[in-house]
Chain A
């Protein structure tokens, strides 16, 4: 299925099946973007980084932003935040126009845009939390308990009075994230929040991030190359390619939209001759033989599946197991963008 086919088969981003609390239906969208466009350069050298992007994110949603390098993810986030001035389009955060009333809008927002270099390395961890809470509009003493909890949640309590410059890269990343959560911002943008973290730290961060978001009712937009993070943390995924949104749905719906109706069959007596006959009539996507058992994956619909089992029955093939094959988010991403896993690419220039 191509992105166009997917778009035709699904509904518009504004009325997707994202789970929304009923009592929030009357609230303004946490983030509402209409017709956002941005071109860099001029004439022949011009590059369209964001092309007529519209989206609506409800309060309390956790949305993942995926796309290959140069897809326009970072420019979209920075345009929403006003750090890149768009050529066209409007952005509202909690109903406030960011271009017209930036100060009011920024009272609701914080962002981790530069990974680990997003705070002051000469200050201690706690001093950073207090400083960024203050410039975010919150008196630091009034949220001292929150800061203690953040330090505990991100395993930073023992390093609270240590200058950030003395910490490991992974810990700096956690401090950066904690400083974004230190104020009263109810909309947070996190660009690659798990970049540079080891597996254990990444799992801790995912778990705590999800918990904090739920407990505080935050709206979060997470851009990441790590699809496991997106799949684990996000309610909804927006996939961008060439500056446009090519998919916007829940992880579950995206998987269902790309259901390939593939079946995985294992058999102890499926010989080469039978496999050849199956290949002649069906789309065999994978076939392996190990320790006397042959496993075959066949892409077909339910009618085709009945034909396949009839063929195997004719040849007295015993089926040890039959299972449907579920696509994961990475397969959906590859289908939509034509790109391999974005982690295999180089740096993202925008």
Chain B
């Protein structure tokens, strides 16, 4: 059987997009236990938080329950996006596939970006289920304008993707420190509850501006076009800025790993 006469067609970015997104889809549908486990854990954790808090704080918690639901929704989104990116990079190093991605005509950047998109969509789907269950548990209702919620939430967690890339870069250099980097997820709680509009500078932290806008959108019913332009620009700026900075750090870490000869080591 001859192997010679195959007339191949060059792959473009559309082919690459299909391949990466299809791979992410296959892993999502073929191994649902991971997603289901995360979903159950998140709901149980929230239920403990809600019922435990109501026993301790009573009416005070009930008065602020909408803010807690929105904050928790954003936290599950953020944790999902961050851990999937940082853990994914660690896994690629472990499997030896990071080197293969770097050694391609496309490079790792578009693959990483596409994976980021897939992770965000996946995380959004899971977090939406969690949100629905939280609303049932708490008996709360929110103003859910789909366009506003999706745009603000996606821009909010884009900055977290940047943190995920930075953490992935640290994993490439120092290996096996994923558990330590996962502790950063608890820092997201601080960022989500940061008083973005009271203290001017905190709005430039990852998640802070997005959290504040999402609270307004989901609790007060503010629509996307009703936000002041400056607030939206800060949201977009922090999203793009942290994503760019995170990816830059990842690339610098990868380059240093190549200089030290530890890129493929695990």
| Contact A135 B6, beta carbon cutoff 8 Å | no
Does any Cβ of B come within 8 Å of A37's Cβ? no
Rounded to whole angstroms, the CA-CA distance of A75 and B106 in the bound complex is: 24
CB–CB A49/B261 < 8 A = yes
B10–chain A nearest beta-carbon distance, Å: 6
A113 within 8 A of B: yes
Given contacts A123-B26, A131-B19, contact A106 B8 (CB under 8 A): no
CB-contact partner of A110 in B8, B12, B103, under 8 A: B103
Asked if A118 contacts B96 (CB within 8 A), the reply is yes
Interface residues of A in 82-115 (CB under 8 A from B): 82-85, 102-104, 106-107, 109-111, 113-114
Given contacts A103-B107, A118-B96, contact A83 B15 (CB under 8 A): no
Interface size of B as a range: 35 or more
Given A103-B105, A139-B10, A184-B8: A84 in contact with B261 (beta carbons within 8 A): yes
CB interface residues, A 314-350, toward B, < 8 Å: 350
The stretch from A144-152, A270-278, A285-293, A299-307 touching chain B is: A144-152
By a CB distance below 8 angstroms, the chain A residues around B26 are: 122-123, 127
How many angstroms between the C-alpha atoms of A221 and B6 in the bound complex?
Answer: 23
Is A113 a contact partner of B264 (Cβ separation < 8 A)? yes
Alpha-carbon gap, A11 to B8, bound state (A): 40
Interface size class of A (residues with CB under 8 A): 35 or more
Whether B95 contacts A137 by the Cβ 8 Å rule is no
Asked if B263 is an interface residue, CB under 8 A from chain A, the answer is yes
List chain B residues, Cβ under 8 A from A111.
99-100, 103
Which of chain A's residues have a CB closer than 8 A to the CB of B100?
A: 110-111, 113, 118, 132, 135
3 A-B pairs with the lowest CB-CB distances in the bound complex, closest first: A114-B96, A142-B9, A134-B19
**Interface set of A (CB-CB < 8 Å, partner B):** 38, 40, 49, 75, 78, 81-85, 102-104, 106-107, 109-111, 113-114, 117-123, 127, 130-143, 145-146, 149-150, 152-153, 163, 184, 211-212, 215-216, 350
Q: 14 A-B contacts, Cβ less than 8 Å apart?
A: A38-B261, A78-B264, A82-B102, A83-B103, A103-B105, A118-B95, A123-B23, A123-B26, A123-B27, A130-B19, A140-B11, A142-B9, A163-B30, A215-B2
